[in-house]
Amino acid sequence: MAIPDFPHSELEAGKVSLPELGEMFKMRTEEKTGFLKKIFYAGIPVIAITFAELLIFGGRLKEASIAYTLLLLALSFSIVVTKKYEIRKVYQALLLLTIFRLVNFSMPIFFDINIYSFIFVYAPLAIPAMIATIHQRVVYEKKRDTLRRIWIYLPFSVLTGLAFAEAEYILIGTRELIPDLSLENLLILIVIMVFIVGLVEELVFRSILQTRMEEFLGPAGGIFLSSLLFGVMHSNYGTPYEMAYTFLVGGFLGYLFYRTRSLPLVIMIHGSINVFLFGIIPHLGPGLGLL
């Protein structure tokens, strides 16, 4: 068997000694072992969240709430006892998902689901998300670069949001969250879906979770796992097509965020999808009534 990266001619020429070659193989083995450990540390809570979401998908909300409560305690304990700072940062990011779902569980107890219920679900998560963003020192695109590119970002976000919303509407056929398309109702929908829902979800999934996973497992692993969790946490829609579709949308948003580090860009796209999906398309029909 040939030795990778070290041709026999170089070994014979004395460029690489046998002790050095042995040290090279030892370093590679340690790197592979370290990477497998990282997959284990990140994979266990990801699997736990996926399991809890599948319980929700199956209508077993009581069991899912118990699973999330246990996971919340386990992640909190792990953050306290682990000595590795990079693992603590990953678990802090995953902890936000458990808090989000547990808050979401409590909301239907008090009132029926409507557009204003999003405020009560997402607003409590905004505070820990902001704190985590500051604590974990997430790096974003510079403000002056964002302002310089906003004339590209804004139309791109609206058109992309419309395209994704059209496809998602075909998959799940959402109902409208506003009674009509009056200016007042549209403004309310835009504020809630862009500046509350879009902001909080993108802070959690792209800004915090994806960034931490990228540092822990590399860009591909970070985008994949954050998108996977973004998809499975749409289990409450009750269709596997929605979870698969939002996984793909999450991957698209994750790649854009990785390339641009622009939080406003992914927020505007996310918000645009929701505005079209829950407001404009249900009233006008697919193709905005033009088809």
pLDDT per residue as tens digits for the range 57-101: 999 999 999 999 999 999 999 999 998 888 999 999 999 999 999
Residue 242 near residue 175 (C-beta atoms within 8 A): no
How is the chain split among helix, strand and coil, in percent rounded to 5? Answer: 80, 0, 20
Between helix 61-81 and helix 18-57 the angle, nearest 10°, is: 150
pLDDT at 129 over 50: yes
Model confidence at 213, in pLDDT bands (50, 70, 90)?
very high
Give residue for tokens 């579709």.
245
Give residue for tokens 């407001």.
279
pTM over 0.75: yes
Residues in Cβ contact with 177 at an 8 Å cutoff, skipping those fewer than 6 apart: 114, 115, 189, 278, 279
Note the residue count of the chain: 291
84-93, 109-118, 211-220, 236-245: least confidently modelled range: 109-118
